[in-house]
């Protein structure tokens, strides 16, 4: 309980549950059987290209839109049958701040409290607490219309928390913010999650989902095409990749042979098909253009002659890095750079949808 505002007691393991949600706009099917489970106290990032159905899904889960089929429960309430009760159990911060620009920051928060039927004294106390928490105390008595973009976003988020809801929906919460404001807002969201608030956020910034989300759901053409932790989704794209950049172009051929021999289960020996330079991925590099005897397969070496660099998938990360570094040193091959790189959510997203996030 915070200043007389009690967190609603939501005991379901999955605080957001959707089964077979469908929604049409005329002939267009925006949602085509969406299934989604978000555990209590977790942060779920909802990703998808333009037109994937993200906003439609959020509007249904927050009672702003009725589904044409399927069902959904949020915080123990059916989004259709219990819509009125549910609205007191959730918070929503949309893409655009829902503030009265003529009212002060304090006045906006007190107004939201009164609209949620908080006693006047409780609304005033809660407003003061939120202003302090979100770093807005000094600007509390200024009209919201004079606030910067970051301040308006923080005030809007504070307004969505006036009744301390157990579930908070955030639609692209950091769009338009400068890097410093984004980082500050991320810290606030992490604090909320640590306190047990369940967050579902849509975002066009994949690094945001990677840093904040326990789980990610990728929505494409009205369906959830993948879901899981960021680490699990990255593993679907592939494991770690080892990169080696050589000091001299002449070392590339010998270096590739050393790397091959240092990695058990790596590319197998066999005749290679020549290539005309540039990046050679998954092909042999024979015909006098590279080390003969390297054949590309599912774990093949990729060679970029222009950058004097090679890359190869490795199953055991740091252990492979140590083996390769030792082997190259023993062979006297001069290395300019050596490191591991893990797949990013950007790569996961592009692989699953073939589109940029938006």
In this predicted model, what pLDDT tens digit does every residue of 267-323 receive, in sequence order? 433 333 333 334 343 333 333 344 333 334 344 788 888 899 998 888 788 898 999
Q: Which pairs count as long-range contacts for 261-265, CB under 8 Å and 24+ apart, including other chains?
A: 261/327, 262/320, 262/323, 262/324, 262/326, 262/327, 262/328, 263/312, 263/314, 263/320, 263/323, 263/324, 265/299, 265/315
How would residue 332 be classed by pLDDT, with cut points 50, 70 and 90? very high
Domain boundaries 14-89+165-236, corresponding CATH code: 3.40.50.300
How would residue 19 be classed by pLDDT, with cut points 50, 70 and 90? very high
Higher pLDDT, 50 or 223: 223
CB 215 within 8 A of CB 44: yes
Residue 355's pLDDT is what? 63
Residue 357's pLDDT is what? 58
Q: Is it the case that residue 247 has pLDDT exceeding 50? A: yes
Q: Where in the chain is CATH 3.40.50.300? A: 14-89+165-236
**Range with the lowest mean pLDDT among 59-63, 119-123, 206-210?**
206-210
- Identify the three-state secondary structure at position 13: coil
User: Which residues 6+ apart lie within 8 Å of 319 measured at CB?
Assistant: none
Q: Is it the case that residue 10 has pLDDT exceeding 90? A: no
Residue 47's pLDDT is what? 92
Residue 356's pLDDT is what? 60
How would residue 4 be classed by pLDDT, with cut points 50, 70 and 90? very low
């Amino acid at each position: 309980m915070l200043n007389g505002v009690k967190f609603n007691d939501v005991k379901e393991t999955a605080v957001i549950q959707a089964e077979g949600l469908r929604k049409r706009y005329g002939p267009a099917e925006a949602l085509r059987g969406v299934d989604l489970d978000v555990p209590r106290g977790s942060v779920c990032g909802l990703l998808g290209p333009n037109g994937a159905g993200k906003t439609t899904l959020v509007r249904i889960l927050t009672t702003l839109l009725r589904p044409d089929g399927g069902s959904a429960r949020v915080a123990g309430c059916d989004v259709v049958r219990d819509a009125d009760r549910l609205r007191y159990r959730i918070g929503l911060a949309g893409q655009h701040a829902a503030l009265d620009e003529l009212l002060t920051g304090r006045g906006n928060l007190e107004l939201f409290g009164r609209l949620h039927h908080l006693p006047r004294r409780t609304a005033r106390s809660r407003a003061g607490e939120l202003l302090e928490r979100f770093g807005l105390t000094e600007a509390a008595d200024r009209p919201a219309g004079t606030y910067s973009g970051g301040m308006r976003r923080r005030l809007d988020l504070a307004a969505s928390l006036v009744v301390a809801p157990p579930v908070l929906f955030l639609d692209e919460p950091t769009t338009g913010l400068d890097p410093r404001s984004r980082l500050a807002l991320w810290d606030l969201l992490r604090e909320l999650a640590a306190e047990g608030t369940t967050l579902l956020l849509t975002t066009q910034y994949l690094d945001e989902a990677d840093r904040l989300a326990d789980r990610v759901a990728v929505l494409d053409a009205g369906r959830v095409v993948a879901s899981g932790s960021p680490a699990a989704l990255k593993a679907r794209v592939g494991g770690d990749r080892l990169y080696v950049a050589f000091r001299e172009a002449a070392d590339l051929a010998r270096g590739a042979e050393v790397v091959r021999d240092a990695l058990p289960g790596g590319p197998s020996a066999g005749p290679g098909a020549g290539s005309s330079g540039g990046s050679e991925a998954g092909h042999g590099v024979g015909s006098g253009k590279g080390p003969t005897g390297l054949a590309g397969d599912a774990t093949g070496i990729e060679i970029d002659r222009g950058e004097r660099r090679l890359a190869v998938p490795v199953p055991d990360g740091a252990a492979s890095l140590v083996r390769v570094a030792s082997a190259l040193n023993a062979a006297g091959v001069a290395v300019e750079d050596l490191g591991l790189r893990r797949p990013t959510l950007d790569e996961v997203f592009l692989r699953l949808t073939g589109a940029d996030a938006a």
